[in-house]
Amino acid sequence: MEAPPKSLNHVKHIVLILSGKGGVGKSSVTTQTALTLHAQGYSVGVLDIDLTGPSLPRMFGVEERQVHQSTNGWIPVQVCPKLYLMSLGFLISNRNNSVVWRGPKKTAMIKQFLQDVCWGSESEPLDYLLIDTPPGTSDEHIAIAEELRWANPDGAIIVTTPQQVSTADVRKEINFCNKVNFEVLGIVENMSGFICPYCAECTNIFSSGGGKQLSESLALPYLGNIPIDPSFVELIELQDNNTKGKSLVELYDKCSLKPIMN
Ligand code: ADP
């Protein structure tokens, strides 16, 4: 019988972040969840399997960094102590080139990400591995499900937005989770209202409550809503300019977004 990938032996929790559509804030939710867990004292690894559009190196402000090889495999980029990131973005020489890969190549890459990356060790186990996926249910999803079949992942968080609460899309994601035995941990509604930077009042620009309705109709936990927050965008953008080198965690503390995870 095939054995589980050894690199995941020292990972306590594995959570996938999924969405039916692109641009709903899946990578942002992954980033915020990672920073929140890290702020709570956990060690966190983030794996970006959005191979054709890896955005996490930029979001974490570590675009220029490189992955190193050790005798035990690839060492993920350390964003700060106890926070690690692995992404194809670190491995491609020209970030402006598009990644046009067929399914088997994507599958091989994801296999390497799970089997050849040092995610925790006996002396320093990793509390959480968060996996940011591309939208929909594509080759990457099939590959990750295949690779995780031995790893007993905790499950998946599904991200949606109020105006894109398209039952059909979310149902497809849930259907996929059911097929591959990923428990759906719940639904998050992102970009849910706008918080005025001056008076902190929240205005529902789009419709609101769709995520909650959806979770009720599908009998799934509703994890909460995240407003549109200019300070989060600022935080992400700043990483590219004058704040390089500053701790993202320190900056995140100043951002008004409040964690949804507990
Ligand atoms: P996805 O991963 O689903 O494609 P992203 O996380 O890349 O989406 O988000 C798309 C854009 O929306 C990014 O520029 C991000 O900074 C912005 N964004 C996402 N969520 C929020 C939020 N709650 N408040 C403000 N901007 C957000």
Return d(Cα 47, Cα 113) in angstroms, integer.
Answer: 8
**Residue 6 CA to ligand 1 centre (angstroms):** 33
Q: Does 209 appear as a known binding residue?
A: no
- Domain encompassing residue 233: 6-254
Mean pLDDT of 120-130: 93
Task: Inform me whether the pLDDT recorded for 104 exceeds 50.
Answer: yes
**Whether the CB of 52 sits within 6 Å of ligand 1:** no
Return d(Cα 250, Cα 262) in angstroms, integer.
Answer: 20
**Residue 178 CA to ligand 1 centre (angstroms):** 27
Entry pTM:
0.91
Return d(Cα 19, Cα 137) in angstroms, integer.
Answer: 9
- CB atoms inside a 10 Å sphere around CB 98: 9
Mean pLDDT of 153-159: 95
Mean pLDDT of 155-170: 83
Mean of per-residue pLDDT scores for the chain: 85
Of the ranges 38-47, 88-97, 220-229, which is most confident?
A: 38-47
Q: Answer left, alpha or beta for residue 245, where phi above 0 means left and psi between -120 and 50 means alpha.
A: left
Q: Does 196 appear as a known binding residue?
A: yes
Return d(Cα 176, Cα 137) in angstroms, integer.
Answer: 7
Q: Which atom of ligand 1 is nearest to the CA of 192?
A: 23
- In terms of DSSP H, where are the helices of the chain? 26-39, 56-59, 103-115, 139-147, 167-180, 210-217, 230-238, 248-254
Q: How many domains does the chain have?
A: 1
Angle of CA points 145, 150, 155, to nearest 5°: 55
Q: Which residues of 4-37 are buried (b: 16+ CB within 10 A; e: fewer)?
A: ebebbeebebbbbbbbbbeebbbbbbbbbbbbbb
Task: Inform me whether the pLDDT recorded for 210 exceeds 90.
Answer: no
pLDDT at 261: 47
pLDDT at 256: 47
Return d(Cα 148, Cα 182) in angstroms, integer.
Answer: 10
Q: What is the pLDDT of residues 212-252, one digit of tens each?
A: 888 998 999 999 888 888 777 777 776 555 555 556 666 66
Q: Closest Cα to atom 5, ligand 1: which residue?
A: 25
pLDDT at 221: 93
Exposed (0-12), middle (13-18) or buried (19+): which is 58, by Cβ within 10 Å? Answer: middle
262 located within any domain: no
Task: Inform me whether the pLDDT recorded for 51 exceeds 70.
Answer: yes
259 located within any domain: no
Q: Which atom of ligand 1 is nearest to the CA of 53?
A: 4
Closest C-alpha among 171, 186, 178 to residue 221: 186
Task: Inform me whether the pLDDT recorded for 15 exceeds 60.
Answer: yes
The answer to whether 188 and 29 are in contact (CB under 8 A) is yes
pLDDT at 246: 57
CATH of the domain at 128: 3.40.50.300
Distances 245 to 47, 143, 174, 221 between C-alpha atoms, Å: 21, 35, 39, 38
**Whether the CB of 164 sits within 6 Å of ligand 1:** no
Return d(Cα 35, Cα 84) in angstroms, integer.
Answer: 11
pLDDT at 262: 42
18 located within any domain: yes
**Residue 26 CA to ligand 1 centre (angstroms):** 7
Task: Inform me whether the pLDDT recorded for 67 exceeds 80.
Answer: yes
**Residue 228 CA to ligand 1 centre (angstroms):** 9
Q: Closest Cα to atom 20, ligand 1: which residue?
A: 25
Task: Inform me whether the pLDDT recorded for 7 exceeds 90.
Answer: no
Span of 38-52, 121-135, 165-179 with lowest mean pLDDT: 165-179
Return d(Cα 25, Cα 46) in angstroms, integer.
Answer: 16
Q: What is the pLDDT of residues 139-155, one digit of tens each?
A: 999 999 999 988 889 99
Residue 259's pLDDT band (boundaries 50, 70, 90)?
very low
Return d(Cα 173, Cα 136) in angstroms, integer.
Answer: 7
Return d(Cα 77, Cα 74) in angstroms, integer.
Answer: 9
pLDDT at 2: 59
